[in-house]
Amino acid sequence: MYMVNYTSDDFKESLKKSNIVILPIGSLEAHGHHLPLGTDIFSPRTFCKLLDEEIGDRIWIGPEIPYGQSYDLTVYPGTINVPSQVFADYVYWVGKGMFENGMKKLIMLNGHGGNITALNLASEMLMKLGMDVLIINWWLDYSADIVAITGAQGHAGEDETSAILYYDSKLVRMEKATKNLIRPLLNVKFMGRAEKIYEHAMSGDATKATYEQGKQIFKVLTARLISDITILESGKYYSQN
């Protein structure tokens, strides 16, 4: 149920169907020479579309947040950075508004690694209101499933490129796809980090990407998402075994 498609009256009436809302969150950021700036927006958008098709009467889908924290890659054209402190406050107020409108459970469906710090901060603040918050970083939380399909992951690498080929192959410039096999030894912040580690604004091997891999990623991970949503619906978040 896409919130933007409902009138105020219909939204109020339909709240009886679900108190869970998904907030798709991305970033506007350079992804190699071959992928669109909206890559981290398009993947959560696709998951939401598939979820709506399969379990649309069980979840609300909020409007996507297209900007995020992307300090490192601001050296590459088209990247927009929102500092973590500012971004956390913004997401908190969006989540608070959802909570006050009757949606007691929030899924932050995140498409961008730079957002993680801010989303953790926002979730802690929302939890204090009484809201149940689940953060899903799809490429990270379901990494094993992805690697089983593509064999490797990377920023604008084989997995992300395959995902966007599935989303809209016309947006992908495969003739410009390249690879960057540099891997950091430690998560150290240092001047010039992006140019050193994310050469060409990417990592991994985009040349191996295919539409079929992207299709399989979305199929397998959508099933995982539905499983996690079912647990959230139940309210049973832990096991005593």
pLDDT in tens, 42-89: 999 999 999 999 999 999 999 999 999 999 899 999 999 999 999 999
In a domain, 79, yes or no: yes
Q: How many domains does the chain have?
A: 1
Q: Kindly indicate the confidence band of residue 191, based on its pLDDT and cuts at 50, 70 and 90.
A: confident
pLDDT, residue 27, reads 98
In a domain, 238, yes or no: no
Give the chain's mean pLDDT: 95
pLDDT, residue 31, reads 97
Q: At what angle do helices 116-127 and 84-100 cross, to 10 degrees?
A: 40
- Looking up residue 67, the CATH number of its domain turns out to be 3.40.50.10310
Q: Kindly indicate the confidence band of residue 238, based on its pLDDT and cuts at 50, 70 and 90.
A: confident
Q: Are strands 20-25 and 179-180 parallel, antiparallel or unpaired?
A: unpaired
In a domain, 133, yes or no: yes
Higher pLDDT, 174 or 188: 174
pLDDT of residue 115 exceeding 80:
yes
Tokens 């991970």 identify what position? 221
pLDDT of residue 158 exceeding 80:
yes
In a domain, 27, yes or no: yes
In a domain, 240, yes or no: no
Can you tell me the distance from the alpha carbon of 131 to that of 106, in angstroms, rounded to the nearest whole number?
Answer: 7
Q: Kindly indicate the confidence band of residue 218, based on its pLDDT and cuts at 50, 70 and 90.
A: very high
Strand partners, 60: 21
Domain that holds residue 76: 3-233
In a domain, 241, yes or no: no
Residue 227: exposure state from Cβ atoms within 10 A (0-12, 13-18, ≥19): exposed
Flag whether the pTM goes above 0.85: yes
In a domain, 107, yes or no: yes
In a domain, 106, yes or no: yes
